[in-house]
Structure 1
Amino acid sequence: TVLHEHVKIKNLWPITALCVTQDSFFSVEVTYGFSTDDDYLQNASAVLDTLKSYYRPGGESSNLSKLLQDYTQVILDITFYEENKLVDQEFPEDCSPYKIQQLLQDLTEPEVLAGRLAPGQEVQTVLGLELLECLYWRRGALLYMYCHTLHQRKQWIKKNKDTFLKCIQEGVRYLMRMLQVRNSVKLNDGVVLHDTTTASFLSEGIFSDTHLLTMMYIGEMCFWAVKYEDCSADTMEHKEDRLQFRDIGTQILNKYVLACEGPLQGQGWNTENAKEILSILQ
């Protein structure tokens, strides 16, 4: 599936396209370029060629939703390659802030396009649940990896606490939205589930191992925020806009532990770190 193909952190460069046109496809191709030794870039190139054919005289027609979904897949494939380069370089201090903002902006573009070109429809209807989940996951996971790296740079954090906390807050918001894309199945809504384990997962909004990983990411980021936010120089006005990291982390990690030590016991999910964080947050 799209979500699981892009579970690993992925990177991205600036996209200048503002609408889905042949110029947009050309812009993506030129901005990123394509490498013959990467499967994801090859796939993106092939899809772009297909998309551009829709705008040639006599080319195929396609509905808007399918067009935007294919375009989103191109962005996901290209950014997969680019983000991994940034992660492999361990987020160089001199260029990472700019590049990350560009990545986040690019991964937001499919939502923006869906809103502009299909204003009468919900974004999740236009793009599909899985692609929308993946877009939120990608942005949140990128910020998680960035904050994970920064967390090990104590001197940097001393000088940039507010920037660090802002990245955490933004990352947690994206990951929380990823968990909220699919409405959890309510077992009293006429849904018949013969597998009680599956029923338990769905009722808690857990639809894949990526959802579980997302919970752990949120818990860790909330822990980092609690650790540093009291030392922040932010004004009270800004602090009021912040998420309740302690409450969010506690709620999410409790759900994570219950799942991993209950239905998923013996399946390789470790709860040691989650419990350690919970002992501090609670």
Structure 2
Amino acid sequence: MADDYRRQSLELERRIFDLDAKCSGLKAEKPDDDYLQNAASILDKLKSYFRHGGGESSTLSKLLQDYTQVILDITFFEENRLVDLEFPEECSPGKIQQLLQDLTEPEVLSGRLAPGQEVQSVLGLELLECLYWRRGALLYMYCHTLHQRKQWIKKNKETFLKCIQEGVRYLMRMLQVRNSVKLSDGVVLHDTSTANLLSEGVFSDTHLLTMMYIGEMCFWAVKYEDCSVDSTERKEDHLQFRDIGTQILNKYVTACEGPLQGQGWNTENAKEILSILQ
């Protein structure tokens, strides 16, 4: 047991010091960035823990959660830089793949260092949701930008559709991290509106935004598959996008016009997309 813990700690320690070097380099570019400052603060705490031989006073789960937060903060800075530059064509594909890999690493590392535990029990529901959300939202923003570059899409339609499919997959996983509350499971909820939202898997504004992102991406996929000469080869994907988009946007509209009516959520775009998908 002690040997296993020592091995796990050594791998995590190496990764933390690698992240510290990366964070220091980014801070040299923008020293006043809040996310990089937060990442540096957590890294200082983690480095101190390992340098002073923290032993088992801090659980592996807590160390991995702190490590994940550093990943989220650093990649958020890098994502914002890409968005500000409007995803330059020459470097964006490589940078996006690197960001996706970085945001996947906490899951992979948790599975390797704590093989007997569910990843969600190691990282916690919120961090796991955030990892999926960030990957899906990054691909949504990238596809949203590409969607406006008609000439690029004509030459790179397969790449565009692949990004959409990957983005939808991440966003769907985000929605599935928490099991929606079953009202028949003996759960007592005195607020009917809240009960209805939870039963549909809507736990936050981010969940609603995720639904809208999925709907838009499914619409783009259907649109470009329909006008593709090779669309018959992707018939299953085409039907999947149409079905997923319809199901998710119906949930979105039901929530926004039901329990969340008057809360500022607009359903016009969702309804317009539904009229095309259905």
Structure 1 residue 46 corresponds to structure 2 residue 41: yes
Q: Which residue of 2 aligns with 1:146?
A: 142
* Aligned-residue offset at 1:244: 0.4
Q: Which residue of 2 aligns with 1:37?
A: 32
CA–CA distance in structure 2, aligned partners of residues 205 and 58 of structure 1: 42
* Aligned-residue offset at 1:26: 1.8
Letter paired with 1:255: K
* Aligned-residue offset at 1:157: 0.3
The structure number with the bigger radius of gyration is 2
CA–CA distance in structure 2, aligned partners of residues 239 and 55 of structure 1: 53
Structure number with higher helix proportion = 2
Residue of structure 2 aligned with 1:166, choices 162, 176, 198: 162
CA-to-aligned-CA distance 1:5-35 (integer Å, 9 cap, x gap):
xxxxxxxxxxxxxx74332122112234224
Structure 1 residue 73 corresponds to structure 2 residue 69: yes
SS at match of 2:42: helix
* Aligned-residue offset at 1:59: 3.7
Instruction: Please tell me whether the aligned partners of residues 225 and 238 of structure 2 are also in contact (alpha carbons under 8 angstroms).
Output: no
CA–CA distance in structure 2, aligned partners of residues 255 and 59 of structure 1: 47
In the alignment, structure 2 segments of 5+ residues that lack a partner are 1-9
Q: Which residue of 1 aligns with 2:224?
A: 228
* Aligned-residue offset at 1:100: 0.3
SS at match of 1:37: coil
* Aligned-residue offset at 1:56: 1.4
CA–CA distance in structure 2, aligned partners of residues 235 and 58 of structure 1: 58
SS at match of 2:261: coil
CA-to-aligned-CA distance 1:243-277 (integer Å, 9 cap, x gap):
70001000111110111111111111000000000
CA–CA distance in structure 2, aligned partners of residues 150 and 213 of structure 1: 20
CA–CA distance in structure 2, aligned partners of residues 240 and 246 of structure 1: 10
Runs of at least 4 residues off by over 6 Å: none
CA-to-aligned-CA distance 1:180-217 (integer Å, 9 cap, x gap):
00000000101000000000000000000100000000
In the alignment, structure 1 segments of 5+ residues that lack a partner are 1-18
1:73-92 equivalence runs, <5 A: 73-92=69-88
Residue of structure 1 aligned with 2:105, choices 99, 105, 109: 109
Residue of structure 1 aligned with 2:189, choices 189, 193, 215: 193
Structure 1 residue 63 corresponds to structure 2 residue 54: no
Aligned residue pair count? 265
Q: What is the TM-score with the length of structure 1 in the denominator?
A: 0.90
What RMSD in Å do the two structures reach over aligned CA positions? 1.8
* Aligned-residue offset at 1:241: 5.8
Q: Which residue of 2 aligns with 1:202?
A: 198
Instruction: Please tell me whether the aligned partners of residues 21 and 55 of structure 1 are also in contact (alpha carbons under 8 angstroms).
Output: no
Residue of structure 2 aligned with 1:118, choices 106, 110, 114: 114
Instruction: Please tell me whether the aligned partners of residues 180 and 199 of structure 2 are also in contact (alpha carbons under 8 angstroms).
Output: yes
CA–CA distance in structure 2, aligned partners of residues 216 and 235 of structure 1: 25
Q: Cα gap change, 1:40/1:65 in structure 2, threshold over 3 Å: closer, same or farther?
A: same
